[in-house]
Amino acid sequence: MTEGTTFTSTKIAQEMARVFGAQIKTFQVTLKDREAVQTYIRKYEDAHKNAAKSKLVFRG
C-alpha cells in the first residue's frame, strides 16, 4: 500500500481484471482542478450547515 493510495473501486477493478483478463489496459490520470471542485462542493455543505442559523419564517 502506497501513501495516498485510493481504494474506492479496487474490488471492482480486481473483478474486472479477473473477468476481462488480457483485454484490460492500465493508464494514469492527472486529476484536474481539485481545489476548485472541493471549494465548490464545500460551499454547498457549508450552506446546509449554516441554514441552521436561518431566521426565515413563512407565513404567506
Partner 1 sequence: MMDSHRRVEAGNVTVHPVSSPFSFFAYTDNQFGGCESIHRCCSLARSHGVQTVVEESIPAVGLIADENAEITEYEPDHTMVALKRVSFWTTPFASETEIANQSDEGFFGYAILKHDRVPAKGFDRWHVFEAVFRGYANAHNCTPCTRDHHIRVGPKEFRISGRLYAQQNGLNKICAHVAMRSLLAGRVPAGDLSYRAINKIVRESRGPDYRPAEGFGVEEIREILHRFSIPFRDIDYAVESKTTTDIRTTHPYRKFIYAGIESGCGSLLGFRMAGPKATEGAHIVPFFGHTFNKDTWVPDAEMAYFNIGGSLGYIPSDSWTGSFIGHDDNIGPNLCVPRLYVDPAHADYALELLPDGVQYGGAQAEGLGIHYLYSLLPSLSQSENPWVKRLAKAANPEVKRVVFRAVCLRKERYIQHLSENVDWAGNRENPKMLEVLQNHLPAQLWVVEASLPHLFPANLRKVGEILLDPEIPATDQPIKANKHFLMARLPGSWAVMKAGTQDQPDFLDSPSAITTHFPLLLL
Which residues bind to partner 1, rule: CB under 8 A?
A: 2-13, 15-17, 19-20, 23-48, 50-60
Q: Distances from the Cα of 36 to the Cαs of 26, 28, 33, 40, 52, in angstroms? A: 27, 21, 5, 6, 25
Give the separation between CA 31 and CA 51, rounded to whole angstroms: 32
Q: How far is the CB of 19 from partner 1 (least distance, A)?
A: 5
